[in-house]
């Protein structure tokens, strides 16, 4: 027992000395001209300002007081907060050699070994190789995976999920509504499956039809644990890297124990679907995917490092692509419950252009300008730049319409929400098409309205994530139900 205490004290003392040493070093940084910012306290710097409120509020407050470029110091780490899309673009595009790197990510890269995750990768040759691999698959898609067909199949499955299976749809039609809260859980499940299944198809070629899939469960477990391990002590290790040397048995080193456990879970999560694709390739029949494509091109030189990199590319498609797509589509449904006049207007446009006898297709996109504005406004809702987009709390697709009263519509938010410069989101075109097809299909076929309470009063949804919206989703007509029922059950 005593020896444990002595070790504890020694470890804490060593950590403290390392801390003072490295802090002393940072005080001697050259006298560079720095952007304005709040006064830093000794040792902690501006940490108290950053962690006193949710990040977006803290940043907005800083911008109001100090302007669009603010300098902060968090312990020994310098941070520049840019609050203007225009400046962020200029810095990352004109000066991309200096602004395309990533922080060190001690917790994720060094303790959890997420060294094959392109999102966290430092700017350099390895990042370039990963990025090229991703773009080959996501953008030059024709000869690898037929992405449009994949999107059509998943959207049809989404619709079928909403309308109900042949056994249950009659109950839904008879009841006319799907009960409110149950309805939300029901919607959330279908929205999640829609995005997760697309990423599984791209990454491994697996045709996932249920969230009970063993690989999805494995990835979700790992994602949950990764997010769960990013508590305050973990944040501290990024701000003060010598803490990574703290022995695992020291009280307070729970973050390190969790990180090392995570490393194992993540390894299993990446290796398991990868092995299945590799085995299927040996047996000769393998559906095209990022993994099979990269395995084919690596063929002879398949060393351990290359295998690790291929596993990373497949995983990042799921981790970067699933929740982002799903939450945007969720926000669409939420917005339509809150702003029914927008939904009605979009439905009217679809009825006039496409009619009600068939489902929308990609070829209809050009003919539906109002729906395009709805999609833009959906992206715009991710920004809060009141100078470019006044009335940020409203959902106003009309702001993007050009016409006599609105000669110069504001900038397309797609140029902002996917980031800028060399690290711009590589999945942006893919997700834009997936979202368009999903929202046009939902709008054309489903009626979405507010639920009513026991007194018959409408329940006003509140904007929140994760969503707790209560709503009623039902097919717009019997004709829609008939179309969905006739869908090829083999395919969808």
- Mark the binding-site residues for heme, compressed into ranges: 425
Nearer to ligand HEM, 233 or 425 (CB): 425
Q: Cα(111)–Cα(255) distance, rounded to whole angstroms? A: 10
199 or 444: CB nearest ligand HEM: 199
Least distance (Å) between residue 418 CB and ligand HEM: 5
Cα–Cα nearest to 337, from 168, 433, 195, 462: 462
Torsion of CA 273, 278, 280, 282, to 10 degrees: -170
Is the Cβ of residue 45 or residue 312 nearer to ligand HEM in the bound state? 312
Nearest CB to ligand HEM, comparing residues 380 and 474 = 380
CA distance 492 to 478: 20
Coil, strand or helix at 417? helix
Supply the minimum distance, in Å, between the C-beta of residue 150 and ligand HEM: 12
- Nearer to ligand HEM by Cβ, of 138 and 163: the residue is 138
- Which CB atom, from 70 or from 134, has the smaller least distance to ligand HEM? 134
- Report the nearest approach of ligand HEM to the CB of residue 375 (Å): 11
Residue 273 in tokens: 């679907």
> Taking the CB of residue 137, how many other CB atoms lie within 10 A of it?
25
How far, in whole angstroms, is CA 196 from its chain's centroid?
11
Q: Which is nearer to ligand HEM, 124 or 390 (CB)?
A: 124
CA distance 231 to 258: 11
| Residue 307 burial (CB count, 10 A) | 19
Least gap, CB of 316 to ligand HEM (angstroms): 5
CB of 426 to ligand HEM, least distance (A): 5
Please give the residue ranges that form the binding site for ligand HEM (CB under 6 A): 118-119, 131, 134, 138, 316-317, 320-321, 324-325, 328, 417-420, 423-427, 430-431
Q: Quick one: 431 or 480, whose CB is closer to ligand HEM? A: 431
State the minimum distance, in angstroms, from the CB of residue 3 to ligand HEM: 46
Residue nearest to ligand HEM (CB): 427
Contacts of 90 (CB under 8 A, 6+ apart): none
Q: Which two tokens stand for residue 408?
A: 């110069």
Q: Smallest gap, in angstroms, from Cβ of residue 371 to ligand HEM?
A: 17
Instruction: Return the SS3 of 37.
Output: coil
d(CA 362, CA 136): 22
A 10 A CB-CB count for 460 gives: 10
Instruction: Please report, in range form, the residues annotated as the binding site.
Output: 425
User: What backbone torsions phi and psi does residue 211 show, to the nearest 5 degrees?
Assistant: -75, -5
Q: How far apart are CA 252 and CA 377, in angstroms?
A: 45
- Beta carbon of residue 207, minimum distance to ligand HEM (angstroms, whole number): 18
Report how far apart, in Å, the C-alpha atoms of 345 and of each of 339, 372, 413 are: 10, 12, 21
Main-chain dihedrals φ then ψ at residue 182, nearest 5 degrees = -60, -35
């Amino acid at each position: 027992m005593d020896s444990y205490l002595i070790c504890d004290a020694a470890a804490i003392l060593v950590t403290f000395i390392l801390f003072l040493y490295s802090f002393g070093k940072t005080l001697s940084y050259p006298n560079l001209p720095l952007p304005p910012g709040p006064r830093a306290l000794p040792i902690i710097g501006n940490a108290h300002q950053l962690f006193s409120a949710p990040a977006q509020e803290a940043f907005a407050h800083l911008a109001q007081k100090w302007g669009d470029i603010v300098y902060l110091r968090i312990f020994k780490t310098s941070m520049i907060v840019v609050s203007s899309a225009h400046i962020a673009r200029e810095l990352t595009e004109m000066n991309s050699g200096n602004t395309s790197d990533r922080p060190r990510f001690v917790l994720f890269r060094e303790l959890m070994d997420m060294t094959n995750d392109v999102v966290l990768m430092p700017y350099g040759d390895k990042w370039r190789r990963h990025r090229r691999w991703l773009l080959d698959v996501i953008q030059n898609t024709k000869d690898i995976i037929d992405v449009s067909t994949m999107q059509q199949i998943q959207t049809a499955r989404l619709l079928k999920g909403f309308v109900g299976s042949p056994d249950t749809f009659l109950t839904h039609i008879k009841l006319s509504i799907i009960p409110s809260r149950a309805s939300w859980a029901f919607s959330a499940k279908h929205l999640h499956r829609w995005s997760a299944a697309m990423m599984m198809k791209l990454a491994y070629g697996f045709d996932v039809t249920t969230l009970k899939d063993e690989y999805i469960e494995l990835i979700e477990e790992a994602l949950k644990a990764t997010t769960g391990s990013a508590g305050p002590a973990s944040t501290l290790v990024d701000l003060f890297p010598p803490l990574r040397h703290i022995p695992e048995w020291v009280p307070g080193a729970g973050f390190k124990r969790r990180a090392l456990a995570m490393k194992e879970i993540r390894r299993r999560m990446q290796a398991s679907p990868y092995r299945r694709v590799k085995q299927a390739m040996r047996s000769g029949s393998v559906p095209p995917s990022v993994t099979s494509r990269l395995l084919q091109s690596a063929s002879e030189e398949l060393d351990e490092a290359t295998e690790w990199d291929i596993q990373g590319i497949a995983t990042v498609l799921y981790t970067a692509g699933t929740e982002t797509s799903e939450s945007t589509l969720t926000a669409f449904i939420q917005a339509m419950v809150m702003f029914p006049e927008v939904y009605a207007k979009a439905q009217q446009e679809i009825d006039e252009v496409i009619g009600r006898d068939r489902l929308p297709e990609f070829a209809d996109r050009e003919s539906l300008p109002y729906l395009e504005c709805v999609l833009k406004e959906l992206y715009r809702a991710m920004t809060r730049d009141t100078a470019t987009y006044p009335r940020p709390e409203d959902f106003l697709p009309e702001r993007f319409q050009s016409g006599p009263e609105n000669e110069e519509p504001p900038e397309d938010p797609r140029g902002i929400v996917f980031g800028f410069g060399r690290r711009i989101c590589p999945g942006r075109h893919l997700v834009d098409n997936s979202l368009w097809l999903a929202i046009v299909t939902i709008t054309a076929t489903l009626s979405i309205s507010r639920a009513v309470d026991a007194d018959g009063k409408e329940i006003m949804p509140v904007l929140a994530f994760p969503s707790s919206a209560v709503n009623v989703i039902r097919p717009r007509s019997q004709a829609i139900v008939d179309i969905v029922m006739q869908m090829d059950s083999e395919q969808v």
